[in-house]
Amino acid sequence: MDCEKVRDRFSSLWEKELTPSEEKIVKEHLSSCPECQKEFERFEKTMGWLRSVAEVEVPEGFLPELYKKIEERKRAPLGEEVRGRWLGFPLSFKLPVQAVAMVAIVFLVLYLTKMMPMEVFRLKDAKQPSFPLSEEKKSEQVLSQKEMEKERRVSGAPPETPRPKDVDLAKTPVPREEKFEGAYVPQVKAEAKKVETPPSRTEVMAYPPIESKEAARAKAPTPEPGKIEKGLAAKEKSAVASKPPREIILKVSDRDKMISKLQELVKQFGGEMVTAEENIFLASLPTGSFPEFEKELMGLSPPTQTDKAIAKKQAAGNLTAAPGVKREEVDEKIKELAKRAADQESRTMVRILLIQE
Amino acid sequence: MKPSPKVQKETIESCKAGDEKAFTEIVFHSQKKVFNIAYRMLGNLEEAKDLAQEVFISVFESIKDLKEEVKFDAWLTQITLNHCRNRWKYLKRRKYFNSDSLDDPVETEDGNMPRAIVDPSDNPETLYEKKSIQHFIQRGLLKLKEDQRELLVLRDLQGFSYEEMGKLLGLPEGTIKSKLHRARMDLKGILERAAH
């Protein structure tokens, strides 16, 4: 048996746990190897010291202190108890819990940091009318528009009247948007800075259209005479889109009779027949006398579509409503008339369509 | 060192039922063992006292969960060892012990040598005369790895059998014996270097 194996058996030899044969072999080696003999003597000495260590007496007051601690623990609030328990948990449990908590915090921070710029974008979107709005925002915008409408009525200008200003405003939608955005981006930044006192949304929503109109008025170029015809189609389209002429559809049995009556009525209400093209008539009437004129006209023949909204929609969306009419010719006429009518702010354009029964 | 007589089964049952006298009896019966294990594991009397009290608070709070009264001693020792492990880690993190670096690596035969414990005497016998042997051994114990110290405390200081140790530590007896032998040889090396 070599030295290393003999030294590995020192504990067993000292505790007398070796088998007699093993003990004999080890002892023979020890007697023949002075190094191993010396090592074993040192080992015996260490064991002697170790086993000689006496027990230490428990300090005085151990039990009263223990009871005091138990009482304190009973009175301790739940938080401290939980904290104490937490400290008592093994590290194998605490580490995964702490790791999960860390990951959760990191995700939370990432989520929040991503959310912040999103909020700013949302505010921007809310201010841009060209973007689709949520129901809440839409209703807010409608409210603000109604307020503006009211203001306009108070000032005396009828909202439905197509005005040259409106034509111009409709003509320049792009600079209007640019101005709008340019004017409000810094405001968004300012809002972001003033986190504590952000302005109410209705204020934000109500303000942009006024600002944009003013901007559009400022930017809108004065139309030159030569360019009028060129840009008239676009103007007319936008004018129709913003302030469409009134349209009345009449079912008639005697066309000629109806035409003469129509002309009489127009004259009677201080208007003038601008054009008479087969079954389409365009008349210019003073805005104040229009409701009565309409009433009288309805008395001549029941309209096919009495719903104003539908009539407006048709006029705004599609000018080819009348069958058998050459669209181009009609368009040109309407353009001219719209121009003339636009010069007179207080007049209302009425288009009357006659349909043979 | 003779193992202390076991706590009576009736006392444990009374304690489980909430009898404070029974609990006091248990404390009187086991406090020396718990306190000594704690002291040898931590090397500090104040810490050992505090830890022993914490152990008995744990006993007081959870004895109702003990199903087999016969295993009370093993259960108590297990609680003590768990508290010792946690407290040792806690104190090490706080660098509570500023004496001969508890963090020094344990000496191995590979040559990983710790700082020698300086002692003017060359002779261990003289050292025995000059210093308290208990203090000398205690410092040696604290230089060992925690699991090695546990084995020496349980077997050589508290007199646990290999079977009991196997159950306590969840290891086979053969493993316990070989690990214990390694711990003893390491302690021998530490004490020798401390003396020279």
pLDDT, tens only, A29-48: 999 999 999 999 999 999 99
B122 in Cβ contact with B196 (< 8 Å): yes
Q: Report chain A residues whose CB lies below 8 A from the CB of B192.
A: 42
Above pLDDT 70, what percent of chain B? 78
Q: Specify the 3-state DSSP secondary structure of B109.
A: coil
DSSP A76: S
Q: Which of B45, B53, B138 sits opposite A66 (nearest CB)?
A: B53
Q: Is the minimum CB–CB distance between A51 and chain B shorter than 8 Å? A: yes
Tell me the mean pLDDT in the region B109-134. 49
Query: In chain A, how long is the greatest CA-to-CA distance?
Result: 150
pLDDT tens readout for residues B74-109:
999 999 999 999 999 998 887 766 554 433 433 333
At A57 the pLDDT is: 92
Query: A280-286 and A347-356 as β-strands: parallel, antiparallel, unpaired?
Result: antiparallel
At A289 the pLDDT is: 81
Tell me the mean pLDDT in the region B118-124. 48
Above pLDDT 90, what percent of chain A? 20
Higher-pLDDT residue of B68 and A206 is B68
At A234 the pLDDT is: 46
Beta bridge mates, A248:
A352
Q: Report chain A residues whose CB lies below 8 A from the CB of B124.
A: 45
Interface list for B 83-122 with A (CB within 8 A): 86, 89-90
Q: Which of B52, B60, B191 sits opposite A46 (nearest CB)?
A: B191
Q: Report chain B residues whose CB lies below 8 A from the CB of A58.
A: 31-32, 35, 49, 52
Q: Is the minimum CB–CB distance between B193 and chain A shorter than 8 Å? A: no
Averaged confidence pLDDT in chain A: 67
pLDDT tens readout for residues B15-38:
888 888 999 999 999 999 999 999
Q: Report chain A residues whose CB lies below 8 A from the CB of B174.
A: none
At B159 the pLDDT is: 94
Would you tell me how many other CB atoms lie within 10 Å of the CB of residue A1? 14
At B178 the pLDDT is: 95
State the distance between the two ends of chain B, measured CA to CA, in whole angstroms. Answer: 30
The alpha carbon of residue A264 and the mean position of all alpha carbons in its chain are separated, in whole angstroms, by: 56
Q: Tell me the C-alpha distance between A330 and A342, whole Å.
A: 18
At A263 the pLDDT is: 84
The alpha carbon of residue A127 and the mean position of all alpha carbons in its chain are separated, in whole angstroms, by: 10
At A8 the pLDDT is: 93
A286 in Cβ contact with A346 (< 8 Å): yes
Averaged confidence pLDDT in chain B: 82
At A114 the pLDDT is: 81
For tokens 């009288």, what's the residue?
Answer: A296
At A226 the pLDDT is: 45
At A181 the pLDDT is: 39
Is the pLDDT at B70 greater than 90, yes or no? no
At A37 the pLDDT is: 94
Is the pLDDT at B53 greater than 70, yes or no? yes
**Ranges in chain A, pLDDT < 70:** 77-85, 116-244, 301-345, 357
